[in-house]
Each structure stands twice: as structure tokens, then as C-alpha cells.
């Protein structure tokens, strides 16, 4: 018997409210299928199931707010006998299979936003309190990347055009190969480096607040599909229709305020990650090219890193690796 738990959607999430069940006891479910809708500070999230089987029991009724990790339902795997014991954690919390829905929570968008702000403030305060941040910055010649995107987009329809942001994300992901220490987390007073690179993309929401969207293995994706994924996730984030898996498992965060005209952004590390990369706006600046000073498109790239996991030398090499990938965008 498997437990379907209230998921954690980031270090700033402590609890969620069940909005609705998509399945009822006795119905079959398959891995990746949405089983429930959960209201969080990030909006109403579709929560997927990670096992094939049959719904055995629902332990929480709609409208109930429960902590992260609380069992919401039990799933009978194929070949199991029905009617196994209800998880002790659910019983201890006093939850029972609901006889009838208790109604959706009366949560307004304004309520969700004061909550989101508080959650973000708590997570960032924890980050600055617990993580020994250090910061590096470099200005990178972006002429090759800008020209590459423009040339590619000449032959693509509007809905398939490359985003310069996708080039930045992929360069940040590819650079991990040279400096793997930036990709991991701090757990149990130790660094845990991760082999898979999932980029968390910070996206602002309408009316305020932000979410960290997860781009899975962007280093292996074509830039066209990565651009489309960023468009799709951003649109659904701003309309409040995301899946739990699209907000989980990021290993390194990228943030950009370039579209707001910001030259430099100094990020705060999203725990338990080890680093956050910031991209400013691309603007024409005086750069030395072939021993001449020319006005060239350039971007300031910053890195906030955890000094428990990285030092300035390795962090500097990571920024250099990003610069090298941006000089050869055709290889991304």
C-alpha cells in the first residue's frame, strides 16, 4: 500500500489545502496522472501520483489544510489485497476518509499573495541567516548570442522563436559540467552534489510574488523546445495552473531582471541549493574587440554561492564557463 502525501513545493512551503480530488476510491490511477488539486501560496497546483494502482481510501476532505508530508490518500498497488491498515500518521492527525466534501476553501487572490510574500520572506531570511553567501560578477560579451538568436528567429514562426533567456539557461546548465560544485544541496551539515542538472527559473507573478519553475535537464534540450517550455510554464504559472512536478527538484536557480532594465541582480540562494545565477539586461557597452573599443551587446552575470560548498576560485571558473558557452551559442 502506497501513501499519497501532501507534497513539498519548495523550502518556503509548510502546508497546503486540499481543493478537490480528481479520483475516488476504487478508480485506477497511473504514474504522472493528476490525483488532487492543492491550494498553496504559489496558487492552485495539480498534484500527480507517482505509482500505478487503485485508490484505496481518501484520508483528507476538500477544504482541509494539512502540513507537508501528511498522507492524503492510500493507493493499492496491483496484486495487493484491499483494506490494509490506514497509515498511522493520518490516524494520529485525526484524519478520516471523508463522507462528503466540505467545500472549497474561501481563499482570495489577495490572501494568497500577503501569504506568498510572508513565505518568500521567511525562506529568504532563513537563507541569509544560515547560508554564508559570497558574490561574484562579470560582464560578458553577448554579441554572438544576440546575433545567433536573431539569425535563428528569421526562419521560425513567432510561436517557435528562440528566447535569449533560454540561451542563458542552457549556458548556465552546460557550465555545470566544468564546475559541478555549483549543482547540489546542503543537507545534514554536508554537501550533496547531484548528477542531474535541473534549473530553477525564477518567474514573477501578476500582482506580486514569484515562483521557481523547474526546467528538467535543460542542457540536453534543443533551444527551440526549451524556449517553448519556458513560455508554457511562465504562462501557466501566471494563471495559477501548474503541476507539482513543475515546482520541485530544482538543483540550481537562474534569475533575470533583464526585461526590467536592471543591469545587475544579486540573488539570494534558495535553500537547500548551493548557488543562484543572475542575468542583467543586455545593453550596448564599450568593450575591447580586436584591440579596439567598440559598442557591443553585453550582459552582467552574477553568482551568489554557498561558501560551505564553493570558494571564489571555483565560482570564478563557473562564470568563465558560462561566458565561453555564450561565445559559441551554436554549440548549445
Q: Mean pLDDT for each 10-residue chunk of the chain (332 residues)?
A: 85 83 92 89 84 92 91 85 47 40 50 72 87 96 96 90 96 97 93 95 81 94 96 88 88 88 92 95 90 92 96 97 96 94
Taking the whole predicted model, whether its pTM rises above 0.85 is answered as no
35 and 70 co-located in one domain:
yes
Distance CA 273, CA 306 (A): 8
Domain extent at residue 258:
121-331
pLDDT of residue 54: 94
pLDDT of residue 163: 96
Query: What's the burial of 298, exposed, middle or buried (CB within 10 Å: 0-12/13-18/19+)?
Result: buried
165 and 281 co-located in one domain:
yes
170 and 62 co-located in one domain:
no
Distance CA 286, CA 296 (A): 6
pLDDT of residue 288: 87
Distances (CA, A) of 321 to 168, 246, 318: 12, 27, 5
Nearest to 43, CA basis, from 108, 103, 90, 100: 108
pLDDT of residue 116: 73
Is 195 inside a domain boundary?
Answer: yes
Is 114 inside a domain boundary?
Answer: no
Is 152 inside a domain boundary?
Answer: yes
Is 270 inside a domain boundary?
Answer: yes
131 and 231 co-located in one domain:
yes
78 and 133 co-located in one domain:
no
Is 38 inside a domain boundary?
Answer: yes
99 and 147 co-located in one domain:
no
pLDDT of residue 97: 40
Distance CA 299, CA 49 (A): 41
pLDDT of residue 106: 47
Q: Which of 85, 107, 129 is the last residue of a domain?
A: 107
pLDDT of residue 123: 81
36 and 159 co-located in one domain:
no
Number of domains in the chain: 2
CATH number of the domain within which 176 lies: 3.30.559.10
| 217 touches 198 (CB < 8 A) | yes
173: cell is 546548465
157 and 261 co-located in one domain:
yes
Q: Which of 57, 80, 107 is the last residue of a domain?
A: 107
Is 236 inside a domain boundary?
Answer: yes
Is 51 inside a domain boundary?
Answer: yes
pLDDT of residue 103: 40
Q: Which of 62, 81, 107 is the last residue of a domain?
A: 107
288 and 255 co-located in one domain:
yes
pLDDT of residue 142: 95
230 and 306 co-located in one domain:
yes
CATH number of the domain within which 74 lies: 2.40.50.100
74 and 131 co-located in one domain:
no
Amino acid at each position: 500500500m502506497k501513501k499519497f502525501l501532501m507534497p513539498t513545493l519548495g523550502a518556503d512551503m509548510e502546508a497546503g489545502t486540499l481543493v478537490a480530488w480528481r479520483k475516488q476510491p476504487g478508480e485506477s490511477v497511473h504514474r504522472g496522472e493528476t490525483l488532487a488539486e492543492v491550494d498553496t501560496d504559489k496558487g492552485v497546483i495539480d498534484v500527480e501520483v507517482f505509482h500505478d494502482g487503485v485508490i484505496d481510501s481518501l484520508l483528507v476532505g476538500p477544504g482541509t489544510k494539512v502540513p507537508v508530508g501528511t498522507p492524503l490518500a492510500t493507493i493499492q498497488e496491483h496484486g495487493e489485497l484491499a483494506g490494509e491498515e490506514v497509515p498511522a500518521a493520518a490516524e494520529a492527525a485525526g484524519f478520516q476518509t471523508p463522507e462528503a466534501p466540505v467545500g472549497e476553501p474561501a481563499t482570495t487572490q489577495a490572501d494568497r499573495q500577503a501569504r506568498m510574500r510572508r513565505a518568500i520572506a521567511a525562506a529568504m531570511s532563513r537563507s541569509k541567516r544560515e547560508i554564508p553567501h559570497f558574490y561574484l560578477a562579470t560582464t560578458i560579451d553577448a554579441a554572438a548570442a544576440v546575433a545567433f538568436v536573431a539569425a535563428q528567429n528569421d526562419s521560425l514562426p513567432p510561436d517557435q522563436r528562440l528566447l535569449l533567456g533560454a540561451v542563458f539557461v542552457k549556458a548556465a546548465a552546460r557550465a555545470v559540467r566544468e564546475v559541478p560544485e555549483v549543482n547540489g544541496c546542503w543537507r545534514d551539515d554536508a554537501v550533496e552534489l547531484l548528477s542531474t542538472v535541473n534549473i530553477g527559473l525564477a518567474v514573477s507573478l501578476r500582482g506580486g510574488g514569484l515562483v521557481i519553475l523547474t526546467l528538467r535537464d535543460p542542457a540536453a534540450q534543443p533551444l527551440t523546445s526549451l524556449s517553448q517550455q519556458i513560455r508554457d510554464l511562465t504562462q501557466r504559472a501566471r494563471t495559477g495552473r501548474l503541476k507539482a512536478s513543475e515546482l520541485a527538484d530544482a538543483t540550481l536557480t537562474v534569475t533575470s531582471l533583464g526585461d526590467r532594465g536592471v543591469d545587475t541582480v544579486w540573488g539570494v540562494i534558495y535553500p537547500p541549493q548551493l548557488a543562484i545565477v543572475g542575468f542583467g539586461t543586455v545593453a550596448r557597452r564599450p568593450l575591447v574587440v580586436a584591440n579596439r573599443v567598440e559598442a557591443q551587446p553585453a550582459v552582467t552575470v552574477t553568482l551568489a554561492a554557498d561558501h560551505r560548498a564553493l570558494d571564489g576560485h571555483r565560482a570564478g571558473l563557473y562564470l568563465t564557463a558560462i561566458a565561453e558557452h555564450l561565445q559559441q551559442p551554436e554549440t548549445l
